[in-house]
Structures are given as structure tokens and as C-alpha cells.
Structure 1
Amino acid sequence: MISLGIIGTSGITEQFIKAIDETETFSLTNVYSRTETKAQKFLDDINKSDIQIDTDMDKFFQRNFDTVYIASPNALHFPEAKKAIENNKNVIVEKPSTSTVREFSILDELAHSKGVYLFEAARHIHEPIFKKIQEVVSKHQKDITGATFSYMKYSSRYDAYLAGQNPNIFTTKFSGGALYDLGVYTVYDAVVLFGQPERVQYTPEIIESGIDGSGSLTLKYSDFDVNIIIGKTKNSYMSSEIYFGKDTLILDNGGDINHLDWADDNRNITDIPTVKSSNPMDAEAKVFAKIITENDKETYENLLKYARIVNKVLEQARTSAGLVFDADEEK
């Protein structure tokens, strides 16, 4: 198995560790945390022992592991991934991988020059259920007339924000907000299924901290539009849809997809059989490991192409809305 170091000890990291254990793709060997106590508690919680802990990032990257998984706050992805690549590590970085296109371009070029892999962990596009969506879209390509993707989920940190605290996900300092947290999933939906849009327009609801609590995004293609509704300050149970004239493919969610239906002009609803893993990160773990072990450059470059477009769309959306991150000021 591929040796793995991790940065970030949140719930999503725990889910990824479970995925690599289930798929036997990577083996956790190293952990970086600002405090040894926090790292040890994380390892105890996931029943891992004999794992090297570092509280100094330079020492961490000098350790003999192959790949690093980064799940720190958004604004830290770039400097941490850059340091990893400089130390010849493959990088799996949670989406969004960077705060700006400039940052992504630097990592992209550096990874190629060092001969290591840079993966943006957009887990859902690797799942079998998403592959089924791609099959349906490909089969009915000439009939596509648009799509609506919705992903709104009340953040567990929003109450803390309302109470006067300053959670990372609701600050410009850490490149937070609805677009860069949940919207990235729906932008991936559009980019993987339909390609790069011709124009991008984002209309956000800005909260007092200066980030978008929710918003609506329009991606304009030559023959149709994709409308995206996202939010971290409210819940929505609205389905997502892809339109084929009189017929519609219905997704139960734009980000965490669990069920598909086909609806015809007579409102006949047909269930589309799909496979869904209990851990949605299993599929991406397998894909990343396969690319590394088999040196599958074709699959890798295809994923990288998606990541480049997604990061460009996210920045275009922010620019259209006048949303500014602290990272925009760094040159």
C-alpha cells in the first residue's frame, strides 16, 4: 500500500482514513498537527497506533511517506500543498484545492516539474452513481436543454458565527463561504458533465463577515444554462435536475447524490438502478491509488483538466459578485 501522511484531523479526514482502510489503498503512517495532544486524540478515536506525529511541518515533510492528504482550512491548502510538492510528495487536497487560479497554476506547474501527482479531492465525481449520470448524459447528449443543481445545508458552524464567534468557514481570511465549500461540488457537476461554460454569473447573499452565506450561480453554455443554488445558512430539500426537452433526470442532491430517477412527459417516474458505497470516499481512494501505482497519466491529466476549469469558474464567479478573499491580495 501507499504510505500516507495527513494534515487536518476533522471528520472528513476520519472518513478518508476509513475509506483507505476499507479499500486497502493507502496506509496511514504520519500525522501533522499543531499539537501532539490533538493528533493523539484523533489517532485514539480512529484506533490507530504506531503512527509518527509531528508538530513541525518541515520535519513532517522530511519523513519517508509517499503521499499527503490535506484537509485543513481552505486558505492553508496552497502553502501546505506547495511545501509537500517541494518535498516530492504526491498531494491529495480537499476541494477547493486553492483560493485562486494563480495558486492553482503554481501548484500545477510545480507538480509537473517535480514529477508528483496533485489531486483535488472532489469525491462525488468518482462514485459509481455519478458515473451512471455521465452515462445517461452521454446517451442523450443532443437532447440536453439545461440543468439545475441545488446544494444547501445549514452549517454546523453557523450558530457559532451568529453567536459572535469567528469560524474559519465564515471568514475571508480562510477563503470560506457557500461557493467554495458546497458550491464547488455543483460546479464539478456542471464541468464534468457539460464542460467549460462560456460565461459565469454569481449572485450571493453576503453576510456581515464579507463571505457568501448562500447564493445563485448561472453557468451559460452555447445552447443552455446551468442554474446552481447553494447555501450554508439554510437547509433545502429540493432535488437537482438535468433537462432533456420533455424528459428529466432527477438527482436527489447536487452534492451528495444518493438516488436517480427518470421522469417522462407524462410524469411517469422510473427509478434508475445505481450503486452507492456506504463511504462516499471509497471510490476516490481507489482512483488516486490506481493512478499512482500504475502511473496512469491519461486519467490523471483528465482529472487535472477538470480541476483547472473548476478553479477558474469559482474565481470567475467570485469576481462577478465582488467577493474578495485575503488570498487575492497575496502576490
Structure 2
Amino acid sequence: MIKFGIIGTNWITQMFIEAALKTEAYTLTTIYSRSQTRAEAFLAQLPVDDVTLVTTLSDLFTAVDVVYIASPNALHFEQAKAAIQAGVHVIVEKPATSNPAEFAEIEALLAQNPAVRYFEAARHVHQPNFKRIEQTLGELPQVQGATLVYQKYSSRFDSYLAGEEPNVLTREFSAGALYDLGVYPIYAAIALFGAPRAVQYLPTLLANGADGKGVANLFYDGFNVTAIFGKNANSYLSSEIYGLKETIVTSNIAELETVTYHDGEGHVDNIGETPDANPMVQEAQDFADMINDPVSTHGQYRQWFQLAKQVNQTLFDLRSSAGIVFPADQKES
């Protein structure tokens, strides 16, 4: 069993814990929080016992094989660095780092610690329905681009409207629409089509300078991909991938509840399957397989690592095109 601990006591952490336990490959041993009271309240919601609560990272890292990091974006880099230096595998929520300079430092540190695995938790590209999209895309005689959508009104946006500064809507924490929900369509685009030759981001900025929603254009040879995402409005648009007259349609590019193939002649086939109620199960299983068998899975691990690296670069290029600067960028420069 893989002993794992968590950083971040929120709903996404609870979802990952449930997914990891469902695989039967992990056992939760340790919860880290700077607040003992918050950690106790979080533990009370979990179907587990015999879990240690710690308030220092050193105590966390000595107790686990792998750490799942779901803290605010701006904290991912330093916490992942500390884990790698302690010889602990890392599963870090997207976005893995704030900028390519941080990612490069992580890559260099991993080279010094070759036994450590570092995963970005982009759950949708691990799901069976995403694999079905990849397979069907490969069968199209021609590709003419895509429109990828993921826009949901944030549970924290009412707080922003009330004058507060939630972490997920501030540049100080390397956040905003692009570095949250926008990661899903950008990840999907690069996983499906590779790195774009150029990008453009057209954000709608909040009063604090963070992006509330936006449209990203990724330019490829012969076609474009448009990504629509946001945290201050809801969208019910489907995501579409265009062949010549064929179209692959999914409910949205992050949740992938349904996937259908339209042949352009009036025939529609359901090519997906009913997803697991917890969308993080497959990624948790994939990461466990790579931790338990690093040799035979090394090739796939390198592919996912390079995908994460390219996504990080593309996110940075997109927000640079819009003039959005994070404090983390100034620190690195």
C-alpha cells in the first residue's frame, strides 16, 4: 500500500482521498494543515481512522510515500520542492507551478532525485472518455480545429462581489480563470493536438487585475482551437472537435459526462461510457501504477511530464499575451 498524505483541506482534496481509497492502492496516513482545528474538522468528514494530523511539512514528509498538494496555486512550487528534496513522490493539483521558471527548477530537482515521481493532477486526460476522444480523433481523415468549453460560476465569486479577495480570484495566489478552469481546455488541446505555434488570450479582467473569464486562441498549422472558460458566469455549451463533416461532441471538456460522434450524414453514435461518480479515480490509479512499477511505466510517465511542461509554458504564453503578471513571475525574474 502507498502511504499518502495531503496538503490542502478542501473539497478537491476530499474527492482525491475518496478516489485514492477506492483504488485500494493507497492508505491515508497524514493530514497537514497550519491549523490543527481546521485539520480536525476536515478529518471528521472522512471515512477513515488512524490518521495523524501534523502542522509541519517535515513531519508530513517523514510519514508518507507520496503527497497530494491542493493548496493555493502560488504555494505549489515551494511545497513540491520540499517534498522532492525529502524523497517523497508528488501529486500536485493543476496548475503545477506558476510559470516555466518554477517548472524548470522542479525538473532540475527531479534530475537530482531520479527515484521521485512528480505528477500534475489533470484528471480529465486520464478518464476513459478522454481516451475515446483521442482514439476517434485519430480516425478522422482531416482535423479542422475545436471549441473547448468549461465555464462555471465559482462558489467564491459571491465573496469577491462582497468585497473580499478569495485566493482563487487573485493574481497574488497565481489564480484567476485561466489558471483554474482554463487549465482543462488547454490541457485537452495540447494532449490532443500538440503544442500550438502561437497563442492569444482575450480575458475579461476583474477590478483586482485577475481574469474572471476569457477566450484563448491556440493557432496550429491548418486549424485553430478556441477555449472558452470562466469563473464568474455559467456556460452550458458543449465542446466540439471538428473533422471535415464529422464532429466529436462532449458535454464539457472537463467533466466528459457524454461523448458522441456525429458523422455529418445524420447519424449520431454514443462513443463514451458512463463515467465514475468520482472523476479522479482513474488518475489516482494511473499514478499508483507508476509509483509501484516505475520501470515499465517510465515511458508513459515521461510523456505525461512533458505534457505538463508544455501546458505550463502555454498557460504562461497565454497570460503574457494579455499582460497578466503574477508576483511569482517577479520573484523568479
In the alignment, structure 1 residue 247 sits paired with structure 2 residue 241: no
2:190 corresponds to: 191
Q: Distance in 2 between matches of 1:273 and 1:286?
A: 20
Deviation at 1:108, TM superposition (A): 1.6
Q: Separation in 2 of the partners of 1:251 and 1:155?
A: 22
The match for 2:12 is 12
Asked if structure 1 preserves the Cα contact closer than 8 Å seen for 2:2 and 2:66, the reply is yes
3-state DSSP of counterpart to 2:279: coil
Residue identity opposite 1:82 in structure 2:
K
2:45 equivalent in structure 1 = 45
> Tell me, what secondary structure is at the counterpart of 1:60?
helix
- Give the drift of 1:34: 0.9
Residue 63 of structure 2: aligned partner? 64
1:181 — aligned with what? Answer: 180
**Contact 1:108–1:118 at 8 Å: present in 2 too?**
no
Deviations along 1:201-239, one digit per CA (max 9) or x if unpaired, are 100001101111000000001111001111100000000
- Share of identical aligned residues, percent? 45
C-alpha displacement at 1:198, in angstroms? 0.4
* Corresponding residue of 2:322: 321
Distance 1:235 1:273 in 2: 24
Q: Deviations over 1:117-170 (max 9, x none)?
A: 110000110011111001101111x41111000111000000000000110011
Q: How many angstroms does 1:315 deviate by? A: 0.1
Which residue pairs with 1:2 in the alignment? 2
Distance 1:136 1:211 in 2: 37
Partner of 2:118: 118
TM-score normalised over the length of structure 2: 0.97
Give the match's secondary structure for 2:19.
helix
Alignment match, 2:54: 54
For the residues of structure 2 that align with 1:36 and 1:294, how far apart are their CA atoms? 35
Does structure 2 conserve the Cα–Cα contact (< 8 Å) formed by 1:206 and 1:213? yes
**Equivalents in 2 of 1:278, 1:47: separation in Å?**
17
CA RMSD of aligned residues (A): 1.0
Note if contact 1:241-1:248 (Cα within 8 Å) is conserved in structure 2: yes
Alignment correspondent of 1:165: 164
Cα contact 2:29–2:63 (8 A) shared by 1: no
In 2 relative to 1, CA 110–187 (structure 1 residues): closer, same or farther, beyond 3 Å? same
Distance across 2 between alignment mates of 1:21 and 1:157: 28
Count of paired positions: 329
Alignment of 1:74-113 (within 5 A): 74-113=73-112
Q: Deviations over 1:253-301 (max 9, x none)?
A: 0211110112232443332242411111000011000011011211110
Contact 1:85 1:91 in 2 (8 A): yes
